[in-house]
Structure 1
Amino acid sequence: MSGHSSKPTVGPLPDTTVDSPFVPVALTRLVWSLFAASVAVLIASVRFGGGWGVPGVVAVDGLTVLMWVVVTFFSGVVHSYSRRYMAGSAHKTRFFVAMSGFTAVVMALVAADHVALFGFLWAAMGLLMAELIGITDGWKQAQAAAAVARKYFTASSVLLGVALTALWLETGATTISGIGAAADTLGGPMWLVAAGALVLAAMIQSALIPFHKWLLSSMTAPTPASALMHAGFVNAGGILLTRFAPVITVDSTLMLAVVAVGAASASGGKLLKSVRTDVKGKLGCSTVGQMGFMIMQVGLGFFGAAITHLILHGFYKAYQFLSSGEQVERTSPSEATEHTVGRATSVVGLVVALLTGLAGGAVFTSLTGKGATVDSGLLLTFFVVITTLHAARSAIQHTALSTLARYGAVPLVFLPAITVYAVVYEGVSGLLTVSTATTELTLLHGVIAVGFVGIYAAIETGVHEHSQRLYVALLNATQPSSNTLLTSTEDYNEY
């Protein structure tokens, strides 16, 4: 039997206003109050400028306030959503406490200036996220997923501790701002240890390949926790490298290495997504790729672009996870079933995409000034065009428009989208105190760009489908830890 099948809803949806526990209600209102306060602080910061804080402990700058607004907004949405999603759960109050604690820790993290405080909050952030992943006590797979995540997050915290200790020994500074001020004196083996540890810590936290297993094993987390994870937690890698921008920009070779690892994850995430058939699995692989783009932008020296990307990706991924239930369809296999990976692309479609991309690149360059000269700005423009164009085409492919109408819709969706990207980028860059570190293009930059386009073209045209060896390798790479897989529904027990 083919086609769609559905089952009528049994009973009404729970009313979150009736008999709702006090703690979830109070914490939801608190988070939205923090959002309102953060917006007020951001407006004041833009109007009056300057920063403030407790010398040697906390330093509130443009990045801090911007992240406060973003974090509290996402958290407020997730808190409100969770009041209905978690209704009737035995773990509702515990879930809200952990989620609110996570929000508070992240807000403190982006304001922390003392290295010891920063390291402590980084570790606490990971432990709270692991708590959310394994929130269901009676589900052994959830506990296993939490253990996997905790192992990765502990490794990230240890690496950060190594980096902070090395920087303290090298500069004598106990604050992030002090380390930045002494960046001109950095170099040699101690700096290399610190910079390498920082990059690895960021890669783990942002689930870049080959550290993506914890993210793909975390599907036991409640959907709102997954939304908070993919829209907020994984962005910590970009924030870490932005905070320590003076350290990682000391040497252009390290920056090139950051571009390479980001490109590997960006293209690898796209390939991994092509073999997943479940909704949340696809979203997880998409996050791996998008975090790769964010790290690439850091490696190119455009920290404002990396922050812009994590904000826009956060909005997109939060919506995708919170609406993931609507994307689930019950179908039976048939000969008419479309491929789950790669689709043949017509010549007309390629021409439309090429011309639209060129127009979008011109728009981005005119609004930001990036890409007008032969330097890393040109590569930034190229990657922004690729990612935004791909997102626009993906959105259009899921509509009921005819083929001809889709060709016309591509520029109508893409050009406003890249305009918004450029405007947000300019606004974010104006808030950051860290300056752009533009670098010269090298042969390796060119190789990365060509390889990236080649992988995207192979996926779009379906060429990669013809290799069974590649398919099996990709399928194996997307598998979560075996002890986190639900093999029998009887294994799940929330109460």
Structure 2
Amino acid sequence: MSGGDQSTAVGSPVEAETTSSARIPLLLTRLVWLLWVGSLGVVTARLLGEGPWAVAGLVVVDGLTVVMWTVVTFFSGIVHSYSRRYLAGSRDIDRFFVSVFGFTLVVMTLVAAEHAVLFGAAWLAMGLVMADLIGYVRGWRQAQTAARVARRYFLASTLFVGVAVGTLWWATGDTTISGLAAAGDAVGTPVQWVALGALLLAATIQSALVPFHGWLLGSMTAPTPASALMHAGFVNAGGILLTRFAPLVTVDPSVMLLVVIVGATSALLGKLLKSVQTDVKRQLGCSTVGQMGFMIVQAGLGFFGAAITHLVLHGFYKAYHFLSSGEGVEHTSPTPEESPALGANFPGVVVALLTGLGGGAVFAVLTGKGTSLDSGLVLTLFVVVPTLHATWDLARRQSLPTAVRYLLVPLVGLPAIALYAVVYSVVTTLVADLPVVTAPAELTVVHGVVVAAFLVAYVAVETGVYRRSRRLYVALVDASQPPTETLLTASEEYNEY
């Protein structure tokens, strides 16, 4: 570490646990797993039909609360357990664990908050604690800069939440989140648009959507466990915010279209930005930008249960990939790059296409979405495209015999979609007590343009056509650069030993 501010230990975790500094990590790890067990008990009670529980005007434990409690405490437990070894010997390990455990408690408070002041305070605290984790390494200049950049974004996000809540509070006199969300047309069009605009900006910043993704790409200075918690939990707050205010978001169809456009833009650009990255963690960061865009699109389509399902499954995916990111570094000899289209022939294309369409049909049958001429068709498309992507990758793997990989494509793809549909149905059942869970929108020209853009972008990326434009490549590289001050310019600026 530059400046010698960070001590390093190469001893075993067993040796580290004999020191007094291991007591707090051990205690907090056990506590967070106890919170997870307690959350499972609450989920069980919800499935049995009990609840919601509330302290009038202050907190409410409803379906969204119990889902997020269970997910957040599980991810936090994994991060706590992983970090005991990852940070063994660090002299600041206690501070890290207190911050992660505190972050967990703040998020649990946020998703249960019913009073407007408590909700705003939890939103602010969540951002401040995450900024502290981004700048965890005190002696690293780039880490401190990244923390300051993130803190400014999070304060702006909190400001917009305050504007939205304050405007609705002023117009209605209500102090509860549920009451403010239900205001709808009662507050008048100007107030409604101010509140909705502020809510969308807050969600866009917190979820690192384009053009506010810079703080996320600069946050790679955070310890890997903190990055896992950030991408698995923190960035999902935008979806939670829109779901809490779903009754207000769904009042005006034009607002829902705006949400779709904002989310789709980030989803498309996130996919393209990822394609020009060489750093493992930066690739995961760009992927999160795109995935959060998908989450926001689902909310804009009126499927808030699908948005919550997406953030849950994305959390599992990103937590795993960040904590195993070291495995992504391979020591291999350079070989000529193979064109993406050379790995499979025409039968492979047909198998992948049929499997993707079959996956959409399975999802429609199991969930009932996509069977009517409404935004459910677009939601089903978002199931077909990822299925196509996964099955196409499998179909062109030359390491497997042709017959085997073509057989594996439907055997892997279709059950995976069925599992997703089941998880979606379970989550929708758990959050059924929310005022708005499903509110399909009528199909419009905008939806058609979004669908066409996704298909064109998918084909361009999969065939590699987009690489022929040097101008586009440079533009994507520039757009995916974090703030300059957070970049390492010499390896000596961060030397663990």
Whether TM-score is above 0.5 comes out as yes
Q: 2:115 touches 2:176 (CA, 8 Å); kept in 1?
A: yes
Structure 2 counterpart SS, 1:439: coil
Which range is displaced more, 458-467 or 182-191? Answer: 182-191
More displaced, 465-474 or 342-351? 342-351
CA distance in 2, matches of 1:179, 1:306: 21
Contact 2:185–2:192 (8 Å) recurs in 1: no
Question: How high is the TM-score relative to the length of structure 1?
Answer: 0.94
Post-superposition Cα deviations, 1:121-160, rounded to whole Å, max 9, x if no partner, equal 1011001001001000000000011111111111111111
State the AA in 2 paired with 1:456: Y
The equivalent residue for 2:168 is 167
Q: State the superposition RMSD in angstroms.
A: 2.0
Judge which range, 455-464 or 89-98, deviates more: 89-98
Tell me what 2:33 maps to.
32
Establish whether residue 428 from structure 1 lines up as the match of residue 457 from structure 2. Answer: no
1:54 maps to amino acid: V
CA contact (8 A) 1:238 1:295 kept: yes
Counterpart amino acid of residue 31 in structure 1: V
Query: 1:239 is matched with which residue?
Result: 240
Contact 2:263–2:293 at 8 Å: present in 1 too? yes
Encode CA deviations 1:225-262: one digit per residue, 9 max, x unaligned: 00000111110000000001011111000101111111
Q: Does the CA contact (< 8 Å) of 1:364 and 1:370 recur in 2?
A: yes
Contact in 1 for aligned 2:359/2:383 (Cα 8 Å): no
8 Å Cα contact 1:170/1:191 also seen in 2? no
Question: Residues 343 and 461 of structure 1 are in contact (CA less than 8 Å); yes or no, is this contact kept in structure 2?
Answer: no
In the aligned structure 2, how far is the partner of 1:397 from the partner of 1:133? 39
Q: Provide the residue aligned with 2:207 in structure 1.
A: 206
**Counterpart residue number, 2:6:** none
Q: What is the deviation of 1:187?
A: 3.6
Match in the other structure for 2:404: 405
For residues 87-106 of structure 1, give each alpha carbon's deviation from its aligned partner in whole angstroms, at most 9, with x where no partner exists.
11122111001000000000
1:290–1:392 Cα change, 3 Å: farther
What is the 5 A alignment of 1:381-460?
Answer: 381-391=380-390, 393-394=392-393, 400-432=399-431, 433=434, 434-460=436-462
Deviations 1:192-251 (A, max 9, x none): 010011011001111111111111101110000000001111100000000010111110
Give the superposition deviation at 1:396: 7.2
Alpha-carbon shift at residue 331 of structure 1 (Å): 3.8
User: CA 1:355–1:408 in 2, change beyond 3 Å: closer, same or farther?
Assistant: same
Paired residue secondary structure (2:112): coil
Q: Which amino acid aligns with 2:346?
A: V
Aligned partner of 2:4 in structure 1 is none
Are the counterparts in 2 of residues 134 and 146 from structure 1 also a CA contact under 8 Å?
A: yes
Cα distance in 1 between the residues matched to 2:344 and 2:150? 39
- Residue aligning to 1:286: 287
C-alpha separation in 2, matches of 1:71 and 1:29? 15
Instruction: Report what 1:98 is aligned to.
Output: 99
Amino acid in structure 1 at the alignment position of 2:291: Q
Deviations 1:331-380 (A, max 9, x none): 4544x3457x8877643333222211111111111111111111011111
In the TM superposition, 1:183-262 aligns within 5 A as 183-262=184-263
Q: Residues of 2 paired with 1:396 and 1:131: CA distance?
A: 44
Q: CA deviation at 1:303?
A: 0.2
Q: Separation in 1 of the partners of 2:181 and 2:163?
A: 17
> What residue ranges of structure 1 are gaps of 5+ in the alignment?
1-9
The CA deviation string for residues 392-425 of structure 1, in whole angstroms up to 9 with x for no partner, is 5457777942455333322222111111111111
Sort the Cα spacing of 1:260 and 1:345 in 2 relative to 1 into closer, same or farther, 3 A: farther
1:220-369 alignment runs, 5 A limit: 220-334=221-335, 336-338=336-338, 346-369=345-368
Q: Deviations over 1:292-332 (max 9, x none)?
A: 11000000000000000000111011000001101111345
CA distance in 2: counterparts of 1:260 and 1:212, whole angstroms: 16
Aligned-pair distance for 1:186? 3.8
Deviation at 1:45, TM superposition (A): 1.4
Matched residue type, 2:442: E
For the Cα contact (< 8 Å) 1:89–1:494, is it kept in 2? no
Deviation for aligned residue 1:33: 0.3
CA distance in 1: counterparts of 2:402 and 2:34, whole angstroms:
47
Structure 2 equivalent of residue 6 of structure 1? none
Letter matched to residue 88 of structure 2: A
- Residues 319 and 343 of structure 1, relative CA distance in 2, 3 Å threshold: farther
Distance 1:395 1:353 in 2: 9
Larger deviation, residues 485-494 vs 42-51: 485-494
1-structure distance, mates of 2:257, 2:394: 32
Q: Distance in 2 between matches of 1:213 and 1:43?
A: 40
Distance 1:342 1:80 in 2: 42
Structure 2 CA distance for partners of 1:397 and 1:165, relative to 1, 3 Å: farther
CA offset at residue 48 of structure 1? 2.8
Q: Are 1:231 and 1:317, in contact at CA under 8 Å, matched by a contact in 2?
A: yes
Asked if 2 retains the 8 angstrom alpha-carbon contact of 1:23 and 1:93, the reply is yes
Matched, 1:137 2:131: no
Partner of 1:491: 493
CA spacing shift, 1:245–1:492, aligned 2, 3 Å: same
The answer to which of 344-353 and 414-423 deviates more is 344-353
> Which residue in the other structure is 1:482 paired with?
484
Distance 1:44 1:447 in 2: 44
Q: 1:18 to 1:349 in 2, by over 3 A?
A: farther
Is the contact between residue 138 and residue 493 of structure 1 (CA under 8 Å) also seen in structure 2?
A: no
**Amino acid aligned to 1:437:** A
Distance in 2, matches of 1:296 and 1:478, equals: 21
- 2: distance between equivalents of 1:392 and 1:101? 41
